[in-house]
Amino acid sequence: MPRLTFVEFDGQTREVDARLGETVMRSARNAGVEGIIAECGGSMTCLTCHCYVTLPESGSLPEPSANEQEMLDCVLEARENSRLSCQVVVTPGLDGARFDIPQWQG
């Protein structure tokens, strides 16, 4: 199981063993990560699962789809590593990844 690290805006860190094939959003919600609100349940309409992704050196992550990128263009304080966690599927390449949650979600 890939191990993901979620960092809330207040600095609280939670390490999660995520199941392959589920979304990062679902992994966070199942583990009780408060900053991943996911009001829309993963239908990519609310932006409340936004996070900043830092991959380990050997990690990999597909580029966002056109629909996800369109939504990310609406994010407050977007960065180059902004992603919607509902659109990121857990793969072995995410083992060791860090997901920082912005202040406006926490």
- Contact 24/54 with Cβ under 8 angstroms? no
The tokens 């690290």 sit on which residue?
Answer: 5
pLDDT of 36 above 90:
yes
| Side-chain-side CA neighbours of residue 67 (13 Å) | 7
Quick: pLDDT tens for 49-88. Answer: 999 999 998 888 999 999 999 999 999 889 999 999 999 9
pLDDT of 106 above 80:
no
The whole-number pLDDT of residue 60 equals 85
Q: What share of the chain is helix, strand, coil (3-state, %, to 5)?
A: 20, 20, 55
- Please give the domain boundaries of the chain with CATH numbers for all domains: 3-105 (3.10.20.30)
Count of beta carbons in the 10 Å neighbourhood of residue 82: 20
Of the pLDDT bands very low, low, confident and very high (cuts 50, 70, 90), residue 30 is: very high
* Sheet with 13-17, edge to edge strand ranges: 13-17, 3-7, 98-100, 50-54, 82-84
Of the pLDDT bands very low, low, confident and very high (cuts 50, 70, 90), residue 104 is: confident
